Structure 1
């Protein structure tokens, strides 16, 4: 696993001019103690289900649905989310994101997120599954006010292949560009590039994914993030069946980011690990119970 930017494949410039196969816009605001959508738009193979509330906090939950069921070669999906001042949004997906064979060109998702003053977003999609001969790119630009709060959790897993091998996909590139914006302008908090490039010719390179097949990732940006929290989450994960590391970003405007990466051979184990971490944050910061989305 490489944790760096790499040279793009040929044809990347042309990808900027793709027509989206699915497009989704969602804008949430606080109204009388509850968060509600004040703008929704969807076109093509993306939409959201009706909103629901998991508790009495006023946080609204929306579920993204892809009726097409999968991402294919040259597919582009565009998601635009804005959470206005004081509003709280929980965003998830109805099922796993499946990336099948992408001959000729990669599948791509572009996501833009803006959080206003005191706004909060929890983004906890189901796992991303990359199948044989799949190439996928996920580019997210996230803009936060210094007082807003972001939690993003994601699991990446290899899909089934006829010969039972784990790493038959071509490559996965996930890029998160996180900015802190206020009346004084925008400053870059973190540029998180993740490249997973399996060894060619079915030869497992020494140290590739440390011998594991699944990757869990947690990104937290909040003024309450500090070294003590990083140490606590690392201790929480230390006894689980996964290999985990935690790091902090620099501080911008009093806001710090935390990045947790965890390697395992089990989606369930990583979901449990990430759920335990987000459960600590939900309880301590917002008085909420751990997530139980009941999507079965």
Structure 2
């Protein structure tokens, strides 16, 4: 290993709970480059926190670990302040991220990070593991760009992997594995086609879906054998994807959680 090689290992541990009638951040452990902006309460009573990485992006060999616990009765929304920019990795070593969420019965956790943008020659691997008690609610989305498309780097990254696994009351209710290594198949219909942006999402709640949100040709939804609601979407432009995702997630949240639309202040 070269003595000039530098890697960064970020750690973020957050514990949310209820005191009185308010959701509060009870404990946090932060190790640079990961940190959070001080949480604040939304009009609906949900406590919102931004995860921040002040560096210019993640590089090969970097590792981030995020652990979040949400106690019964708490309502938590976690966002990221900016897109995740995955820098080129000349050695082919991956930047990695491990995320674990634990949500107690009667609590709700939602995780909606900004877009991941893999630069040419980059490699990124992510794992998300969610442990829900019976009666817990959870929602998450993931959006990915085909690269720095405005700079002509469409599908020029080395590799992108993401694995999301959700357990509720000890049973696995959702598993999603994505692995993209740009080549001929990546442009096939049903994977990317001519789209430059893709998204996935998953929600787990106690209520049933009565009306499935659909937008012909760009977005589809369904449910897993375990009852989790999933979403897939693609678009040629980022703003189109974001609008579709907001529209669909708002409808899903309303039905599964009985929740009002989020009023996020940035």
Give your verdict on TM over 0.5: yes
**Which residue number corresponds to residue 245 of structure 2?**
274
Post-superposition offset of 1:204: 6.7
Question: 1:98 is matched with which residue: 85, 100, 108?
Answer: 85
How far apart, CA to CA, are the structure 2 residues paired with 1:294 and 1:175? 30
**Which residue number corresponds to residue 60 of structure 2?**
73
CA RMSD of the aligned region, Å?
A: 2.1
Distance 1:206 1:159, change over 3 A: closer
Moved more, 45-54 or 276-285: 276-285
Within the alignment, does 1:288 sit opposite 2:260 as a pair? yes
Decide whether the 8 Å contact of 1:131 with 1:161 is kept in 2. Answer: no
Distance 1:58 1:165, change over 3 A: closer
**Which residue number corresponds to residue 83 of structure 1?**
70
Distance 1:51 1:162, change over 3 A: closer
**Which residue number corresponds to residue 250 of structure 1?**
225
Count matched residues.
257
Question: 1:191 is matched with which residue: 162, 165, 175?
Answer: 175
Decide whether the 8 Å contact of 1:132 with 1:161 is kept in 2. Answer: no
Bigger helix fraction: 1
Within the alignment, does 1:150 sit opposite 2:134 as a pair? no
- For residues 193-212 of structure 1, what are the structure 2 equivalents within 5 Å? 193-199=177-183, 205-207=187-189, 208-212=191-195
How far apart, CA to CA, are the structure 1 residues paired with 2:125 and 2:164? 11
Within the alignment, does 1:223 sit opposite 2:210 as a pair? no
**Which residue number corresponds to residue 13 of structure 1?**
none
How far apart, CA to CA, are the structure 2 residues paired with 1:153 and 1:287? 17
Post-superposition offset of 1:222: 1.3
Decide whether the 8 Å contact of 1:225 with 1:257 is kept in 2. Answer: no
Name structure 2 gaps, 5 residues minimum: 1-6
Q: Secondary structure at 1:90's aligned position in 2? A: strand
Structure 2-normalised TM-score? 0.89
Name structure 1 gaps, 5 residues minimum: 1-18
| Cα displacement string for residues 128-164 of structure 1 (whole angstroms, at most 9, x for unaligned residues) | 1111111101101100112111111221113326961
Structure 1-normalised TM-score? 0.81
